[in-house]
Structure formats: C-alpha cells, structure tokens
Structure 1
Amino acid sequence: MRAVVLENELLRVTVVCDKGGDVVEFLHKPTDTDFVWLSPQGLRDPRTHLLGAADDVAGFVDHYEGGWQEVFPNGGAPSRYRGARLAQHGEVSGLPWECEILADTPEEVSVRLSVRTRRLPYLLEKVYRLRSGTAVLETEGRATNEADLPLHAMWGQHLVFGRPFLRPGHRIRLPEGVRVVPHESAIGPSGRRVRAGGPWEWPVVPADGGGEIDLSVIPPEGTPSDIVYLTGFTDGWYEIMGEIGMRVEWDASVQPYLWLWQELGAAKDYPWWGRAYVVGLEPFAGMPTDGLAAAVAGGTALTFGPHETKVTTLRAEVLT
C-alpha cells in the first residue's frame, strides 16, 4: 500500500494513503514515543482481504489496525440514509485516497489527500503539515457536497491512544464547562452500564451499583468497556498526560462533540480477544454511535447545502 512519511527534527508521521489516509505512526523522536496504538492483528490491505466484505461491521473491524482514521459520512453502527446502506464508520476509512505533495522544504513538509465517497456525493480533502522545529501535526479537512440538493453527514476523527504510551493513571484534561452525556447502550462485558439521563459535569458520572466513575483518570486493565459523549466545548481541546503527553485542538464549531471510548482488555470475544488497552478521544460532528440516520433524527448530524464546503482543523502537539 502507498504510504507517505512526513518528518522534521522532532516528529515522524506515517500516513497510509491506500487505506483511509490512516495515521499509523506519530513518533516523538527525542523520547522515542509513538502515540499511535497499533492492533495486534496488524495492518491489512482492504483491497486484498475479501473477508471484510462479509457484512457492514467486518469491513471496518477486520481491517482495523489501530491508528487514527477519518470517519465520514457515517459514524458508528451501520445505517441506511436515503436509500444508501452505509457500513460501520463508512465510507472513507476503507477507501484509497489520492496524495499530492504540497511542500518539501527545510521549513515545511505537507501533503494533500483527497477521496470521493461512493454511496453519497461527497468530496473529502485533508492536508497534513509539519513545520520545522515544532512537535505539532497540523491538519485541515474540507468536505464538499457535490450534489444539487442538501445532504447530511457525520464527520469525526477516530483518534485512539494505547500502549506503549498509555498507562493506568494517565489523566485527561478538558476545558471548563464540558458535560458528559452517557450512551444508553454502553454496556461492558460485566453488564455494568453508565446510566442515561445526564448530562453530568465532567469528570464524574454516577454508575449503576453505587459509586462514581472519574472519567479524567485512565483506569486499570480489565475495566469494562464504555463509551460516553462530551459536549459544551467553547474551545475544542483536550490533553492526555503521563510523563509525556499530547494536546489535541480542533474546531468545535464544526465538530462539537468528543466521543470518549475505552476498551481496556475486558472484552474477551470478537474482535478484541482481551488484547486491547486503548482509549479513544474522538472529535465528532454527530452522535450517538448508532449511525447517520440516528444522528439526523436526533438533530446532531451536519447539514450540507447544495455544493456547500465545510472546513475543520485539528492540531496534535506533543507535551513534554
């Protein structure tokens, strides 16, 4: 598969153009820390592994190598929208993207990736940029409705953190005023559920069976799986910190939600088999994870006018 490597004095970032424009390496050179979690199943070419076509979930899950994905125009579960059947996190995370080098100088390296969706009439473009002397990856995304009629979409950044970077006790920092909206179907293997009926103030939410969950602290291995949604961002940013950390900033006017997903080794069946210790912190337009039709019904999906383009930015910076 085609890949492009962007590199400066402090960072090396590898992007797989032929699989969703996925970021599969975000290496901080001075500390030899890779912030990208990679799945034990490894990087699989969606063009040659036909098992992924068996159903609307396997297409994403069976080819999920970890890394960071663009999710558009459907987020979460498979969904039907205006006659189009959309797979889990479909479509662009499984498509090959075109790649063009924009800059290759001592001061800056940058590339533009682009792809057209196949089931809805969208053009998606993304620019990745590194500047000399900074431990910052800058991205700019553009989504264009190429039809003569209005359409909806979900648009997210599927960013996950895991080992070797992530450890129990690492902390998540967020702006003041952010609230938590639990997801009714967020049930872990133990049967534990985060109660619906919020929102509650970050970082503590009630849990069934008594007690509270402090979402700002990365829990130990074996903690049940969960997903919640965070909202109320005036400025879109979070920090995830241990001895070294990362700050992610994004345009909350376009992606007003942050999906917080954790899979910490408690799921012993397909697809994790107890081998994943990951936390996702995913800026998103649209919720819940029930797909585009549910987001449209709930009023959280993006609306694109005929031939409208929306632009969003994201900035990932290593903190030492």
Structure 2
Amino acid sequence: MRRNWAARLRHVTIDGLRAVVLENERLRVTVVPGKGGDVVEFLHKPTDTDFVWLSPQGLRAPRDHLQGAADDVAQFTDHYEGGWQEVFPNGGAPSEYRGARLAQHGEVAGLPWDHEVLADDEDEVAIRLRVRTRRLPYRMEKIFRLRSGTAALEIEGRAVNDSDVPLHAMWGQHIVYGHPFLRPGARIRLPEGVRVIPHESAINPAGRRVRAGGPWEWPRVPADDGGETDLSVVQDRGAPSDIVYLTGFNEGWYEIEGDIGIRVEWDATLLPYLWMWQELGASTGYPWWGRAYTVGLEPFSSMPTDGLAAAVANGTALILEPHETKVLRLRAEVMA
C-alpha cells in the first residue's frame, strides 16, 4: 500500500519526463532521471521553501537536448531548467580532450539515466541512478537517500573508468540558488582558511587568503537592482555577473542562509574547489535576458570554468587510473 506518512517515494511525470519524488515529514526532493538525474525540487515543507532556482524556460526532454542543439554551448544552456546538475567529465566551457569534443558542462547532465529503487519503507527511501558517457569510457552512478524525520538529503556518487588507459575528468555539483529563497542580505559561511582565486588567475592556482579566523562570513548577497555590491571584499570587483573559485578547505562545507538556511557538506579531498557563480540580473543578452537572480555554490574537483583541457593544463583535473572507481559522498541539510 502506498504511504502518505514518514519516508515515502512516488513516481511521477513532469513535462513528459519521468521523475521520482523522495519525501518525508520535513523535506520533499524531486529527481529527474530522464534528464541527467537533475534535482528540480528541494522543498522544506514546514516553511514551504524551495532551495533550487528554476529557470523561466522550464524543463525540457533530453531528446530535444540531443537533437535541437545548435552548438556545444546550446546543448546545456538551451535546456537548463535550473535546479542541481551532476557535471562530468567536463566543467564549464566546451573543450577537446584526446580527440573527443566535450560540450558545455560535459555529458551526463543531458543524458537519461536508468534508475532503480533501493529502499522504500517508513524509515528511509533511496534510489540508484546509472549512466554511461558516450564520448569517453566512463560509467557513473549515484544514490539519493532520505531518512524519516530528517531535513537532509544524502548522496553517494561513483565515477568509474571503464578503459585500460588513465583518463582525466572534471567532476562537479552544479548547485544554484534563487528566488524565493535567495534574497538580498543572505549570508554565505565558509570554513577557516579558505582562499579565493579570481577567474583571471585560475590558470595559476596560488590563490590568496581572504580573511584570518573562522568560520568567516561572505558579505551579504546584494540586491537585484544593478547597483554596487559589497562582494569586492573578496573579489577584485563587485560585478553582479561573475565567477570566482574558492579552495583551501580543511573540511568541505558551506552554509547559505537568510530567514532559513541550508548546509552542504562534501568530501573536499575529492572536490577541493568551490565555484561561486553569481548572475544578479546583469546579463541582458543570451541566455539570461536579465531574468536570472542566482548564486551558484558548486563543489568541484577542478578549475577553471574554461573546460577540461584547461584543468589538465593547470594540474587540477582528476585522474582516474584504468578501471579505477572514485566515490563522492555529499549531504545537504536544511537549517531551520
């Protein structure tokens, strides 16, 4: 019998795409295996707060993603519904690696993943997703788990090199926040000792220390009126459309909060960088048209956002030895 209490799981269809809803007393998480295993809802039920940003263009099926793309950027951007994507094996701009042309943010974010139910009882629900890349010989899986009574989503991901040769990759979590959760005055907290690397300096990742002591607080998220911001404390400029890279994490975590908050924890030995991307209504051309008020806080293995070839060149790309498996554990918990 289908439950409507404690931990529970439902299969639904959203805009023609199969999706799975993991839910308990405090949290509702919607995952779309049919498009990259994207998380398109992370809703704190007691406060009716959804932490993911949803793009005005909405959710589009992967068949459109694969057939309707005019170029390597459009393959991701024209079908980006917001939410939370797995990025692998290329991060950021299109890139070429050993004869393989890799599109914006790699392959897996646009592919349909297979899925199966691992647990479905009152104590916990869990699903496992699997996919194989098409340009490089990788296999990936991830498990989403939600336990009764908690406001935390647990994720375990695996990346497997299925070949007899060592390969490079970039692996990231494209987590982007927006309205109604993200408002002017929200604060971002990070561990002690974190350094910021401006995008222009990312080829030489020496970085610079931001502030002694800790945990320290990022300046407030600015208003979306196009005015000056106070992010210049940690950046060379306070541009409302920009990206920087943070590193030096002894512990992989951040918190972002206003009236309510979320804490994301991850293995910083595997993903030692945090990309901070902000698009605060400043870009009035393609693809945002002034409609995006977002901040991305994205744990990543590598940098910069120029793609895998650049990460190989600066020594930050992951290396997976023949038939090696790398395991990533991540947790996202609402602070209320």
Q: TM-score, normalised by structure 1?
A: 0.91
Aligned to 1:248: 264
> 2: CA distance between counterparts of 1:232 and 1:197?
11
Aligned to 2:37: 21
Unmatched 5+ stretches in structure 2: 1-16, 227-238
Aligned with 1:176 (options 183, 192, 217): 192
Aligned to 2:5: none
Q: State the Cα distance separating 1:184 from its structure 2 match.
A: 1.5
> 2: CA distance between counterparts of 1:245 and 1:121?
38
**Conservation of the 8 A alpha-carbon contact between 2:69 and 2:78:** no
Aligned with 1:114 (options 114, 117, 130): 130
Distance verdict in 2 for CA 1:49–1:144, change over 3 Å? closer
Aligned to 2:318: 302
Structural RMSD (CA): 1.7
Aligned to 2:207: 199
Aligned to 1:37: 53
- Opposite residue 88 of structure 2, the aligned amino acid is F
- Opposite residue 82 of structure 1, the aligned amino acid is R
- Partner of 2:101: helix, strand, or coil? strand
**Conservation of the 8 A alpha-carbon contact between 2:124 and 2:145:** yes
Aligned to 1:67: 83
> 2: CA distance between counterparts of 1:203 and 1:10?
36
Aligned to 1:266: 282
**Conservation of the 8 A alpha-carbon contact between 1:78 and 1:291:** yes
Q: State the Cα distance separating 1:200 from its structure 2 match.
A: 2.9
Aligned to 1:126: 142
**Conservation of the 8 A alpha-carbon contact between 1:39 and 1:66:** yes
> 1: CA distance between counterparts of 2:154 and 2:66?
34
**Conservation of the 8 A alpha-carbon contact between 2:255 and 2:263:** yes
Distance verdict in 2 for CA 1:197–1:152, change over 3 Å? closer
- Partner of 2:46: helix, strand, or coil? helix
**Conservation of the 8 A alpha-carbon contact between 1:36 and 1:67:** yes
> 2: CA distance between counterparts of 1:49 and 1:259?
25
**Conservation of the 8 A alpha-carbon contact between 1:52 and 1:60:** no
- Partner of 2:64: helix, strand, or coil? coil
Q: State the Cα distance separating 1:201 from its structure 2 match.
A: 2.6
> 2: CA distance between counterparts of 1:185 and 1:290?
12
The C-alpha deviation readout for 1:142-187, integer Å capped at 9, x for no partner, is 000000010000000000000010001100000000000000199x
- Partner of 2:311: helix, strand, or coil? helix
Q: State the Cα distance separating 1:80 from its structure 2 match.
A: 0.3
> 1: CA distance between counterparts of 2:23 and 2:256?
23
- Opposite residue 87 of structure 2, the aligned amino acid is V
> 1: CA distance between counterparts of 2:140 and 2:314?
24
Aligned to 2:107: 91
Q: State the Cα distance separating 1:22 from its structure 2 match.
A: 0.3
> 2: CA distance between counterparts of 1:131 and 1:50?
35
Aligned to 1:207: none
**Conservation of the 8 A alpha-carbon contact between 1:46 and 1:52:** no
Aligned to 1:216: 219
What stretches of structure 1 move > 6 A for 4+ residues in a row?
none
